Chains A and B, each alone.
Chain A
Amino acid sequence: MSPRLIISKYVIERLSKLDTNEPTGCLYGLMYDGTLLVVGLSLEFFENEQKTYRQLLLQLPAEVELCGVIKFSETLSIESKPKEIFQDVDITDNPLFIVISKDKQIKAHFLVHDKFEETNYEVLQPEELWKQFIHVRLNTVLPLTCEATIAGVKNIMQNKRKKIASGQVSFHIDGTSIYLFGVASDVGVTGTSTEANIGELMDSLGPEQSSKKKKHSINKVEIVPVNLVLKTTKDMLSDKLVKTAVKMMTTQRKPAFCISMPLRVDTLAMIHRNTKLSELYTVLVEAACRSLRLLEHVLLEQLGQEGIGDGAGLRLPETFHFLPPEIGHFITRIVPKGIPDESMESDRRSLHEQLSLPQDRPIFRRGNAYTSNSAKLINPHEAIPVQPVKPDVAVALVRGRYTYHHYMQDNFNDDGWGCAYRSMQTIFSWFRFQGYSTNDIPTHRDIQQCLVNIGDKPSSFLGSKQWIGSTEVMFCLETILGVQSRIIFANTGSELLSYTPELVHHFERHGSPIMIGGGVLAHTILGVEYNSVTNDTRYLILDPHYTGVDDVTVVVSKGWCGWKNSDFWNKTAHYNLCLPQTKPAI
């Protein structure tokens, strides 16, 4: 019997945007409960006879596997090369075949006994996807010592994978007494009932949190942190118990270069909430092995380069997880530590192409990496209840992540004068999160110093409590980040209305937050909504004058982050807007 088919809304949207001239695509999904859920896709160009999807697979969370082929055609015929992809589908006996016609009609088929059978599918909305699926994140450090040759690295990495797959290792869910054991042990799970599933565990870990935050939740992605432990004692009852007392053997051989480093494994798996904890062991083993393969790839790539073998050229691999909002699943990248993002552009460009992502902005730089813990609120506006879509209303929002900066943060009292500084910090955080910069967010003093340095302000400005406005924000962004800004003048609050199309365009084109200063107040604009029937504009405002604690429920319910009508602006005051512009980059 062929499985039930569910396709993530993200995939449907990406499919509908694909250029139908592309040759072939691959589909990635996971199986649960007799259902195939398609969560991702990539394009396959068959360049240099390489199957790039094999490499990409290592960058996806464990459990997500190759599950089918996309074809841009009116017919069900299939050439030999895409057909080879079917051979690599292990997750199901019935690979999926999605055909997209010229008029973007999406039809799904299962391959059953060498015949394509058209099948119906359900679409899984993003909210449901994040509610039903949980990520498990395994973090551990494996000491690695081997000969500094390609064979040496390959050999040791294979040994590490074997060791992890042998059932000797155990996993520990951070902050709990739950341990997961492999085949080498007769128990699978301790610290909880064997029937418990991962969803129940999540609920038990933060019961008060989940009930309280249900109303205003922004952190949709749930991640269970796990670490690895190695059993160092032998099983007393085993028949294979070898009781040879400790001894030491020293072997001398030909001199060779060795490398020794801590190999940091940081890997994800995507599982349904109903997955039993006892089933988690094999998932984690697979996740660890994927990470080791990816690490091996990065090490070998470096060893293959010139000038590495003779000295300190080899760099530690560093793992980053990305959750681009367009694709709705994690992509993991491992890059050598200390190599600047700029010099790895071609790798990223091909990843953009493979995932059919925009080529005009960074998505996989270090700064773009997903962070779950931040001292400040990330994207509080996402906690605002979503309004139903109306046909005559156009909405344009900030794109990507930023942190909410406001009065009194960082143990710094700027109540009454620091609002523009805070707005500037919010903008700066956006550029950091979008990967444009790795600079730290400037403090008030850093901003003042910058303005003094460029001669805009006298040195007495340093340490003062003087306000700044849109032009100062523009100067700083240009000096510190190299970001150009557009300044818009509005003589009155009402005149601001006429600039709505400019604002819509800004969010669609650049997506950065806008700083607006008027009278004595500065605000951050995160989005605009234009109703073409009533000719009304509403503004999504992030207010830096907030002095309370960083609680998203308070921030949203009290309107510190929320939609404001045009009467929010003072009819008689002048307004200056600073619209930070982005440059095309990857």
Chain B
Amino acid sequence: MVRTVYSPEYCLQYLEQYASQENFVLGLILGQVTEARENIIHLARTPEEKNTDTGSESSYVSEKPEAVRNLLGVSEAWVADHAKHVTRMLPGGMFVQGIFITSDEDIFEDPNYFSKVKSVLNYTHKTLSVNQYMYANYPHSNERLILHMSTNTKVLTCKSIEVGVGKSTSIKNVDWKFVPKAQQWQRLDCYYEFDDVYPVIVKKSGISVKQQFQQILESAYKTIESSVMFIDGELKDGSEALEQLIKKKKPKNSVKSAQDTPKSMHVSLFVPFENSLPETVEYLECDGSIHFSGVVSSSVFMYPKATVSETIAAVKQDIIRSLASRFTMHCDALIDDNLLPEEKVCFNEPPRRVLVPVGSLYLCDYLFPGEAPAEALLSVKELLDLQITEGDVICDVETPADTSEFDALDRDTSSEELLATPQEASQFMYITGICFAMFVLVVSIFIHYYDSIAVCISRLLSRS
């Protein structure tokens, strides 16, 4: 059977617009694959490559672009980097499924062009598989889409090739269908909470923030994978379709309102306690502790005919992917990876999640502490090629950390007295300073009036 993908109609206009304006454009296909159906959610043009030859990791600040006019001039690393950044914005269950190209050449027929396409997809696949916790590559299939629109004929062709298998890739035809009506999505929400304290040895080597986050990520991965998921407070049969759950809920819904958007479902995760801990008592001499706390808000969007098991996988991916995204972004922005031993208390505040609307669903973005929602507009424009307004960004799914909260939290959890925090230290300095000044004053007064004081004292003594 030919693979069929369903795409919202605005994607056609999107392609046509580029096909009529320019000769060559390349971008990413974002979508969701479920047993029931494969849906495309968005097409996002890869931004113009900067002419500086450094930094695949640098941000997409648009300088004067020197437009790439030809597929052969495209840098694989640049596209892969785009895919990496876009993946951070995708909720669980959604993936970069392939690339689209508008050009006047027939990219499938010309061997030069086709090998370039393969090379771009393979490079992207390789880049995305570096960090497993990003779930950047769709795990159940290695077949990636290539969608081509000829700028001359406006003819649309879609094929797929297998990536990561070397040279012998077979090309398969794909049936790309546009759906006029906006796709309905079943939204599922949860807040996953962390509250863990680990003892650490700070003095020896300080703490590598990157390493520490990696450890947290690994343990969170294990925990979340082992957890049991409830939907709307109940354990569901994994093979059941999501929409069945809603139908069951309201059996006697007489008023059939087709436009009635399905309500969001609430997800809860239950973690059985690990039985894989080593059966020993460990002794450590430690001089510090790490408190990792807060929430990851998760909103995933599923095709309503998707099964409960597919949904569970998507939610779990979402939480891990979000954690991994924040940690990577935080560590990339760090000036010094080491928590200096001189610091008594040190905070690391990774960027927080915000939601951005794309079509009939939400993708996400991350804001660093102090960044305004407008920052999200920039990345949406650059990475998703989409114009939204500041008011569209949903900023309150998570709130930034309040540093005073840290102090309160810490005093609660640790009975151990803290060494003086910098703030307390300065207070101490202040008081000591005043005391010293007072002392100097008293001494100088004493010296100044030494004679008269001596007289006074001798009088007092003689009297008694």
Q: How far is the CB of A193 from chain B (nearest CB, A)?
A: 13
A145 interface hit (Cβ, 8 Å): yes
- The residue of chain B having its C-beta at the shortest distance from the C-beta of A145 within the complex is B199
Q: How far is the CB of A382 from chain B (nearest CB, A)?
A: 33
On whether the beta carbons of A247 and B280 are closer than 8 Å, the reply is no
Q: How far is the CB of A262 from chain B (nearest CB, A)?
A: 4
B223 interface hit (Cβ, 8 Å): yes
Rounded to whole angstroms, the CA-CA distance of A435 and B271 in the bound complex is 37
Q: Mark B393-414, 1 if CB is under 8 A from A, else 0.
A: 0001111111001100110001
- B410: chain A residues within 8 A (beta carbon): 249, 251
Query: B233 contacts which of A186, A230, A241 (Cβ < 8 Å)?
Result: A186
Rounded to whole angstroms, the CA-CA distance of A231 and B274 in the bound complex is 14
- B296: chain A residues within 8 A (beta carbon): 245-246
B185-229 residues with Cβ-Cβ distance < 8 A to A are: 189-194, 197-200, 202-203, 207, 209, 212-213, 216, 223-224, 227-228
Query: B277 contacts which of A179, A187, A243, A262 (Cβ < 8 Å)?
Result: A262
A142 interface hit (Cβ, 8 Å): yes
A177-235 residues with Cβ-Cβ distance < 8 A to B are: 177, 179, 185-187, 190-191, 227-235
- B293: chain A residues within 8 A (beta carbon): 244, 246-247, 249
- The residue of chain B having its C-beta at the shortest distance from the C-beta of A187 within the complex is B233
B349 interface hit (Cβ, 8 Å): yes
Rounded to whole angstroms, the CA-CA distance of A187 and B266 in the bound complex is 14
Among B267, B281, B286, B410, the most chain A Cβ lie within 10 Å of the Cβ of: B281
- A249: chain B residues within 8 A (beta carbon): 290-293, 345-348, 406, 409-410
A18 interface hit (Cβ, 8 Å): no
Rounded to whole angstroms, the CA-CA distance of A255 and B286 in the bound complex is 5
Main secondary structure of the interface of A (DSSP, over half): strand
Contacts A231-B268, A232-B192, A243-B397 hold; do A248 and B291 have CB atoms under 8 A apart? yes
On whether the beta carbons of A257 and B283 are closer than 8 Å, the reply is yes
On whether the beta carbons of A190 and B234 are closer than 8 Å, the reply is yes
Q: How many residues of B contact A (CB 8 A)?
A: 88
Q: Mark A495-515, 1 if CB is under 8 A from B, else 0.
A: 000000000000000000000
On whether the beta carbons of A246 and B292 are closer than 8 Å, the reply is yes
B269 interface hit (Cβ, 8 Å): yes
Query: A247 contacts which of B281, B287, B343, B347 (Cβ < 8 Å)?
Result: B347
On whether the beta carbons of B415 and A245 are closer than 8 Å, the reply is no
On whether the beta carbons of A245 and B272 are closer than 8 Å, the reply is no
Rounded to whole angstroms, the CA-CA distance of A525 and B440 in the bound complex is 99
- A261: chain B residues within 8 A (beta carbon): 277, 280-282
Query: B419 contacts which of A185, A237, A254, A258 (Cβ < 8 Å)?
Result: A254
B440-462 residues with Cβ-Cβ distance < 8 A to A are: none
B321 interface hit (Cβ, 8 Å): no
- B288: chain A residues within 8 A (beta carbon): 250-253
Q: How far is the CB of A578 from chain B (nearest CB, A)?
A: 39
Among A191, A227, A232, A258, the most chain B Cβ lie within 10 Å of the Cβ of: A232
- A466: chain B residues within 8 A (beta carbon): none
- A260: chain B residues within 8 A (beta carbon): 199, 281-282, 284
Contacts A186-B233, A252-B287, A258-B199 hold; do A247 and B419 have CB atoms under 8 A apart? no
Rounded to whole angstroms, the CA-CA distance of A248 and B405 in the bound complex is 12
- B398: chain A residues within 8 A (beta carbon): 243-245
Q: How far is the CB of A177 from chain B (nearest CB, A)?
A: 5
B350 interface hit (Cβ, 8 Å): yes
On whether the beta carbons of A179 and B415 are closer than 8 Å, the reply is no
On whether the beta carbons of B273 and A246 are closer than 8 Å, the reply is no
On whether the beta carbons of A227 and B279 are closer than 8 Å, the reply is no
- B193: chain A residues within 8 A (beta carbon): 232-234
Contacts A140-B273, A261-B280 hold; do A245 and B352 have CB atoms under 8 A apart? yes
Rounded to whole angstroms, the CA-CA distance of A243 and B410 in the bound complex is 18
B74 interface hit (Cβ, 8 Å): no
- B190: chain A residues within 8 A (beta carbon): 233-234, 236
On whether the beta carbons of A253 and B419 are closer than 8 Å, the reply is yes
Q: How far is the CB of A64 from chain B (nearest CB, A)?
A: 26
Rounded to whole angstroms, the CA-CA distance of A186 and B268 in the bound complex is 13
B283-321 residues with Cβ-Cβ distance < 8 A to A are: 283-297
Q: How far is the CB of B96 from chain A (nearest CB, A)?
A: 25
Among A143, A151, A252, A253, the most chain B Cβ lie within 10 Å of the Cβ of: A252
Rounded to whole angstroms, the CA-CA distance of A185 and B268 in the bound complex is 11
Nearest first, the 3 A-B pairs at minimum CB distance are A245-B352, A262-B277, A246-B294
| Chain A residues within CB distance 8 Å of chain B | 140-143, 145, 147-148, 151-152, 155, 170, 172, 177, 179, 185-187, 190-191, 227-237, 241-262, 311-312, 314-316
Contacts A147-B416, A185-B233, A236-B189 known; list 11 others, CB within 8 Å: A228-B273, A231-B268, A232-B269, A233-B192, A233-B268, A243-B397, A244-B402, A247-B350, A251-B410, A253-B417, A262-B278
Instruction: Provide a sorted-by-A list of 25 A–B residue pairs whose CB atoms are within 8 angstroms.
Output: A140-B272, A141-B277, A145-B199, A187-B233, A228-B272, A229-B272, A230-B273, A232-B192, A232-B193, A234-B190, A236-B189, A236-B190, A236-B266, A244-B399, A245-B295, A245-B350, A249-B347, A249-B409, A255-B287, A256-B287, A257-B284, A259-B283, A261-B282, A316-B280, A316-B281
